[in-house]
Structure 1
C-alpha cells in the first residue's frame, strides 16, 4: 500500500543575520512533526530555506564591503549549519536566489499582471527600512513602525500592486468553511477581525528604490517585492511551473499539509499567500499554524538588550537533544514560552538526567549485575505489573491525539508519564530486595524485563523529539524493535539478547553556579575580543572596515588607561572553556596572568614568545574560575578573525604605549 504524502514547510529565514534560539525553535518544531509523521507511515516532504532579497540585505552588504550575493551566501550557510547542528531532517533547503525559483517568480508575476491582478501605480506613505514595509499614518504606533518600533520615513515610489480586494470575499468564505485552515483559533480571529472584515488594501509587490531582488522582466526599473518572491518558495521548491510543466514532486505533495510559521508573519501566510494561490487557480494549503514566540524571561530577544541566546551556544553547554527537549517541551500551544538559564538547568537535571537518564542507567546496570546483561522474561507476573503495562499501552494513542492537534509539548509529556511510571515501578517492586532471595530470580527477571520494555517503548516514541537520545537508548537495549506503529503491543523486546555492558550517561547533571560562571566568562571573553579590536578597527582604512562609533571621551579619560608591551612567557588553555587561553605575561619586572578569548585563533604554543600590547590597569576579573589581570589587545576583521596587536619594532617588555 502506497504511503500517504505529507508536505510540511517552515517560514524561510531572512538572511540579515544569525538566527537566535527563538528562530531556531521553529525548525526544531517542524522537524519533530515531520519525524513523527514518518513514524506514522507518511511519505513526508519537509522543506525549509532562506529568504535572500531586499533593501536590508543590500544595505548590510554595502556596509560590509561585499556584494549582496556574497553576503547572503555567508548568512544562508550559517543558517543551514545551525539547522544541521540541531539534527533537523529537512528534505529541501531552498534559497530564493536559486535560479529555478527566480525564473518561476518572474513567470508568476507576469501571469498575475497579464490577467489584470497586478497593476502599476504609486505608493506614498510611512516607510520602515528594516521591515521593508509601507504604513499609513493610522497604522503607526506612537509615530513608529507597528512591527519593530523603529523610526519611519516619508517615501513615495512607483510600484506594482496586487488586487487583494478582488479575492477578499472568496478568502473569507474559505476560512469560514474550513475552520482548520488557520490555527490556533485565536490567530484566525485576529486575521478575520483585524484585516479581512475591515477591508483589504491592495498590496505593493514591486520596488524601484533598490536593486537587490528578482527583476520584473517586462519592466527593468522594478524588482519583485518580498511577498511574491518569498511566499512562492512553497511551490517552486516542489518544481511548480506556471506554464503547466510542473515536476512530479509538485503533483504529489501540493497542497501543503502544514505551513508552520511564527505568529508575527501569519498575516502574510493566511491572507497574501492564499489570495495569490487563488489568483493562480491553485489549491490552498490545508493548514497554517502560527506558533508563539520563545522569550528570554518575559521579553523578546534583542541585540540592543543584550539578551540574545543562540542555539549553538546552548548546544555547547547542554547538548543538541537537551536543547531540542527544552524548546519543544516549554512552548505552550498558543501562548509565548520563556527560556532562562535557570529553567534549562532545572529541566536538564530533573527531566533529562533524573527521570530519563537515571532510569535507563540503573535499569541496564541492574540487568548486568543480576543476569550478566542477558534479557529474559519468565513471565512471573503480579498485579503491580498491570498498571505499568496499561500506561505503556495507552501512551501511543495519547501521543497521537496530541500530535494531531500539533500539541507537541503535551505529546512529550505523555512519553514522560510512562518514564515516571517506570521509576515508580522500581520503587514498588524493589529489585534489589528480590535479588537477595534465590527463589525470586524469575520474578526479578520479569520485573527488569517490564522496565526495559517500558523504556524501549518510551524511546521509540521519543525518536521524533530526541532522535539521537532515542537511538542511543535502543542501542543500549540491543533491540531492533523500533516501529512506532507496534506500540500497541507490550512485550516486543527481544529475549536472549544482551544489554550494553556499561550504560553511557545520557545527560549529566549541571551545576547552575558553575554554568553561569562559564556563561559569564564566555561573554566576557567575547566582549574583551570585541572591545580590544575596536581601536585597531577604527584605524584600519586599507580594508575599509567601518564600525559603530562609541561615545566620545576626553583626553583625561584616555589618560586613565595604561598600555604596555608584554612578553608572553607561558600559555595554556583554560579547562572550563573552549574559548579562553591563560597567558603568563612578563611586563617589566613582574609577571601578570591574563585570560583572553582567542583560543579559536591561537594555540597556546603559538602564543609563547610573542610581544603583545596589554592594558595593564584594568580591575582584575575572574573568567571561568581563573583570575585575569589585564587585557591583551587584538584586531578583528569583518569575518571575525582576530590578530594580536604586536609592536612594529623591537621593544622591551614593560615599554609604555603612548
Structure 2
C-alpha cells in the first residue's frame, strides 16, 4: 500500500526553529517505520511561501519576496539534509506547477457553488494571516501570539462557504481515528458545534500571492494556497498536474502531522475544501504539542530559543532524536531540560545500550575467536531473552503507527535492561572459569548479542545512525529495507566475525548552556 504522510508546509517568514525540527523528526521516524513494514512511503515536507507577512519581511530586508523565500527555503533544505531527514518530496508553493493545481481546485469549488463574494470587515493579524474575533469598537487590539497590534480591514474578499459543510464536518470529526490525540478531537468538536462560518480565501492589495482566476485584483489567501501544496507534492512524480490522478499517487494522505495551533485549518477547513472539490479527505490529522525550555516559553525576547543547527553541531542527531521522541509523549506539550537531556542520552544510549553491546562483544571476541559464539540453547522458544525480545518487537510495531514514540522507545530500552540483567545474573566471566561450561557461556553471550541485534533493528526508525553503528558492531553491515525476516529471533549468524568494539554512543558532556 502507499502510505503518504506530511509535515506542515513551514512558513518561510524566518529560519527553521526547533518546533519545525521536532515535527519533521517525528514524521521521519514514522516514515522510516512504515518503509520497514513494507509500505510504499511518500513522505512530504516543504514550505509555504506566499502572503503579506513575507511581503513585508522582504521589504524590511530590502530584497524581493522571491529572494527572501529562496534564502530561507535553502536553509530548510540544508537543515533537513544535515538531520538525515528521509523525505521523498519537498514542495515549494512558489513552484510554477503549483499555480495550475490551485486554479483547477478553485474552479471545482466555484463550480459546485461553494465560493461567494463578500466583504470582510474586522481586526486582522498579519503574523497569523487571519482575522481575529475582536469587537469593532475594541481599543488598541493586539495579537497575544505575535505581540503586535491588529490592523483594521474592510475589503472585498472571496469566501469559501464552509457553512455548507456543517453536517459533513460534524460526522467526520466524530470518527474516533480522524483527529489524534483524543483530547484534540474534543477541542475541534467544540469549535464546530459553535457553527461553521464562511471564511475568506482571497485578499486584495497583496501582490505576493497567486492570482485568483476570473477575479482581477484578488490573490489567494495564504492558507487556501498552502494546504493545496500537499497535492502538488504528490503529483510531482513526473506526470501531469491533474487532480484526477491523485488516487494513483497516494491520496488521501494517511497522516497529516501538524502543531496544535493549526489543527483547525487541517481538521475543519481542509476537509471541507476537499469535499467541495470532490476529493477524499485525509485518514488522520495528528496535532502535537509545543516545546518549552526549562519551564519557559521559548522566545527571542527571552533569549532562550534553541537553535536546531547549534543542537545538531554540539549534540548530534542521535542524542536529540532520542530525547525528543523518548522523553515527550508525542501529542502533549514538552519541556526541554538540558540536564535531563544529558542524563537520558548518557544513561539510555551510552550506558544501558552501548555498554551492553561493548562488553558482550568483547567477551565473545576474547573467548570465541573474535566471532559470534554458537547459539546452542539460546534459540529455544522458552529462552527468557527470546521472550523479552519478541514482546518488545510487538510493542514497537503496535506503538509506532500511532506515533507513540515514547512507548516504542521504552520497549526497546526495557529489552536492553533485561539483557543487562540476564548478563549480570549469568555472570559469564565467572562461569567461563568452571570446567565444561564453554558451551553454556557461548549460548548466554549469543542470546545477549542477539538482543543487541534486535535492539539495533528496533531503534532504526527512532535513531537511524545509532542503529547502523550497533549493527555494524555485530558484523551486520546493511540495514534491511524491510525487517519482517530480520526480526525473527536467531538470525545472528554463529561464527560471524565481530569487529573490534568501539563505543557506539559517546557520552554527552555539556558544560555550558545550549
Residue 325 of structure 1: aligned partner:
322
1:385 deviation in Å? 8.1
Query: How large is the RMSD of aligned CA atoms in angstroms?
Result: 2.4
Residue 508 of structure 1: aligned partner:
506
Question: Any stretches of 5+ residues in structure 2 without a counterpart?
Answer: none
Distance 1:302 1:232, change over 3 A: same
Contact 2:163 2:195 in 1 (8 A): yes
Residue 88 of structure 1: aligned partner:
85
How many Å separate the matches in 1 of 2:261 and 2:60? 28
- Tell me the secondary structure at the aligned position of residue 68 of structure 2: helix
How many Å separate the matches in 2 of 1:350 and 1:363? 18
1:146 deviation in Å? 5.3
Residue 446 of structure 1: aligned partner:
443
* Structure-to-structure mapping, 1:131-170, within 5 angstroms: 131-137=128-134, 143-145=141-143, 147-170=145-168
* Structure-to-structure mapping, 1:61-210, within 5 angstroms: 61-137=58-134, 143-145=141-143, 147-176=145-174, 178-193=175-190, 195-210=191-206
Residue 288 of structure 2: aligned partner:
291
What is the aligned residue count?
Answer: 509
Q: More deviation in 19-28 or 503-512?
A: 503-512
Distance 1:28 1:309, change over 3 A: same
Matched, 1:489 2:488: yes
Equivalent residue in structure 1 for 2:344, among 347, 364, 388 = 347
- Tell me the secondary structure at the aligned position of residue 41 of structure 1: coil
How many Å separate the matches in 1 of 2:479 and 2:213? 56
Larger relative contact order, structure 1 or 2 (CA cutoff 8 Å, min sep 6): 2
Residue 497 of structure 2: aligned partner:
498
Residue deviations 1:239-286 (CA, integer Å, cap 9, x gap): 299x99447564241111111111110000001100000100111111
Contact 1:297 1:338 in 2 (8 A): yes
Residue 224 of structure 1: aligned partner:
220
Question: Any stretches of 5+ residues in structure 1 without a counterpart?
Answer: 520-658
- Tell me the secondary structure at the aligned position of residue 16 of structure 1: coil
Residue deviations 1:94-118 (CA, integer Å, cap 9, x gap): 0101111122112222332343311
Contact 2:364 2:373 in 1 (8 A): no
Residue deviations 1:112-165 (CA, integer Å, cap 9, x gap): 234331122221111112112111315999943254443212222221111100
How many Å separate the matches in 1 of 2:366 and 2:135? 73
- Tell me the secondary structure at the aligned position of residue 376 of structure 1: coil
Equivalent residue in structure 1 for 2:2, among 5, 17, 20 = 5
- Tell me the secondary structure at the aligned position of residue 149 of structure 2: coil
Distance 1:65 1:228, change over 3 A: same
Equivalent residue in structure 2 for 1:275, among 272, 275, 292 = 272
* Structure-to-structure mapping, 1:454-533, within 5 angstroms: 454-479=451-476, 482=480, 483-486=482-485, 489-501=488-500, 503-512=501-510, 514-516=511-513, 519=514
Provide TM-score, normalisation by structure 2. Answer: 0.94
1:476 deviation in Å? 1.5
Matched, 1:376 2:342: no
Distance 1:455 1:142, change over 3 A: farther
How many Å separate the matches in 1 of 2:252 and 2:164? 22
Distance 1:505 1:492, change over 3 A: same
Distance 1:245 1:317, change over 3 A: closer
Q: Which has the larger Rg?
A: 1
1:395 deviation in Å? 1.1
